[in-house]
Amino acid sequence: MREFLRAYWFYIVVVVVLWVGLYLGGRYELVRTPEGFGAMAPALESGKFYLFRQYRGGRLRRGRIVCVRFERLDSSGKVRLEERFARVAGLPGESVRLEKGRLVVNGQSVEEPYLPEPSHEGERERWGELNTVEVLTPRGCVWLLNDDRLVRTDSRIYGAVPLRNVVALLEK
């Protein structure tokens, strides 16, 4: 029992030291995805911790998973910060649309090997109905999409996301 406690405390100390080092370094942060979060499965699993590197400007690549923060009004009228995780689908100046659930950028179909395959026929039919109008991503913004295209809490609801709202990039 004594060995177990010693190993347990050692584990806790190592985790705390790593977390403090990463936090004080200011470049990385451990981010926990919310329970019940499935919009980016299987790339991000619900309730797990992931290492994100702070985004401090510069070019983004299509396909990168980002963390964005928005100010939202809650039901009591108070402003609160809300974090969302999504994948960069459109870069500034690109036209973006969905065609049968698949990404089309500047008229060209984009290979997305990270997308999960629909798990049953009903889901496959719903993906086939996912078509959007073409949208031009404004300068200084990105277009974000969830990997689970049936979950629309992405740019299809919020519109193009200003780069100033992108706070971190997932480290692989």
Q: What's the confidence (pLDDT) of residue 149? A: 85
What average pLDDT does the chain have?
85
Q: All domains of the chain, ordered by start, with CATH?
A: 55-170 (2.10.109.10)
Q: What's the confidence (pLDDT) of residue 91? A: 96
Neighbours of 14 (CB within 10 A): 10
137: CB partners within 8 A, 6+ apart:
90, 91, 92, 93, 94, 95, 96, 143, 160
Least confident piece of the model among 15-19, 29-33, 68-72, 163-167: 15-19
Report d(CA 29, CA 52) in Å as an integer. 5
Is the peptide bond preceding residue 42 cis, with omega within 30 degrees of 0?
yes
Residue 137 has pLDDT above 90, yes or no: yes
Residue with tokens 């997308």: 115
Check: pTM over 0.95? Answer yes or no.
Answer: no
Q: What's the confidence (pLDDT) of residue 25? A: 61
Confidence class for position 114, pLDDT limits 50, 70, 90: confident
